[in-house]
Structure 1
């Protein structure tokens, strides 16, 4: 006689714990993500064919805006503190600001990736950045509409500070189109 086969019973997977874990992970990543701060000035970079990548750290960036304004950025916070103490702090104290206001300005200055610099002050800031960190790689990030005179001024400031090799930040030609 043939044997009677038992009827197969389907199994059921409870998806509730997996949904909980998915939402926990989503919440975790939303809360721990650092958003990129808005740029101080919108820069439309010129195009080139070079594919050399710039390092993430030890970079001294001078940005030239389309209206020939200058912005400077240093990758490390320690260098920013030294620049603040050497150049900005004496100006704030001479203007009569209290020590609390100077300390608050230092906090904002440490967190700022780029800060506006006057044309005549650029050389002081570059020299102090070089004193703060000898390993800084000088970089020029100029808008495509920036005047030659402004970019040439940055090059002269770099030469005056004995920074004879520097990089120009551009966008790849195939990405520009």
Structure 2
């Protein structure tokens, strides 16, 4: 006798729980993501074939603009930033208030001499971006940029230096920077480039 085939019923899956989980995961990733801070100025790096990734941990950055100005971004650790700022203040005879220290910790980079730093930090981020001619002093007499690197290394010996120079920046600006780093016996740094 032939077996009677049972009637197939469509499987109904309730997708409500799956949607809830998907939105919870999406919300979690959005809220826990750390966004990259915008660059202090638009810099077009030269291209290279290197594909080595740069670790952001313990990284300080020197940016060289097309017109040869310098920006310094300290290591992203608030306590270390304050220590470096205070060491620079001691060397150059400038005292920084708590408001100056807070503004320095939250700033994405600096482009001012130590003597002008309190006024520079008093400006908002948008005002700093439109400030023309601002730079960290780096010439044969006043090497404040090298002092920033030196004191950052004193506070955090594991700090690494990355130099992000514009492709149109003139070579003498880089040469002065490299010679200043040589003066403090610091030879290991990374040049940031874009891939071809």
- Using the size of structure 1 for normalisation, the TM-score is 0.78
Question: Is the 1:138–1:163 Cα contact (8 Å) retained in structure 2?
Answer: no
Q: Deviations over 1:5-59 (max 9, x none)?
A: 4322222111122122222222222222222221111111112334444333233
Aligned to 2:164: 141
Give 1:14-53 correspondences, 5 Å limit.
Answer: 14-53=14-53
Shift of 1:151: 1.3
- What CA distance in whole angstroms lies between the structure 2 residues aligned with 1:81 and 1:20? 44
- What CA distance in whole angstroms lies between the structure 1 residues aligned with 2:85 and 2:33? 29
Give 1:125-140 correspondences, 5 Å limit.
Answer: 125-140=148-163
Q: Deviations over 1:83-113 (max 9, x none)?
A: 11112485244xxxxxxxx223222322334
Question: Is the 2:43–2:66 Cα contact (8 Å) retained in structure 1?
Answer: yes
Give 1:45-124 correspondences, 5 Å limit.
Answer: 45-77=45-77, 78-88=79-89, 91-93=94-96, 102-117=97-112, 118-119=136-137, 120=142, 121-124=144-147
- What CA distance in whole angstroms lies between the structure 2 residues aligned with 1:37 and 1:155? 26
Question: Is the 1:48–1:170 Cα contact (8 Å) retained in structure 2?
Answer: yes
Relative to structure 1, the CA distance from residue 5 to residue 162 in structure 2 (aligned partners, 3 Å threshold; closer, same or farther) is: closer
- What CA distance in whole angstroms lies between the structure 1 residues aligned with 2:54 and 2:84? 23
SS of 1:91's partner is coil
- Using the size of structure 2 for normalisation, the TM-score is 0.71
- What CA distance in whole angstroms lies between the structure 2 residues aligned with 1:150 and 1:114? 19
Question: Is the 2:38–2:108 Cα contact (8 Å) retained in structure 1?
Answer: no
Larger Rg: 1
SS of 1:116's partner is coil
Count of matched residue positions in the alignment of Structure 1 and Structure 2: 165
SS of 1:72's partner is strand
Shift of 1:126: 2.1
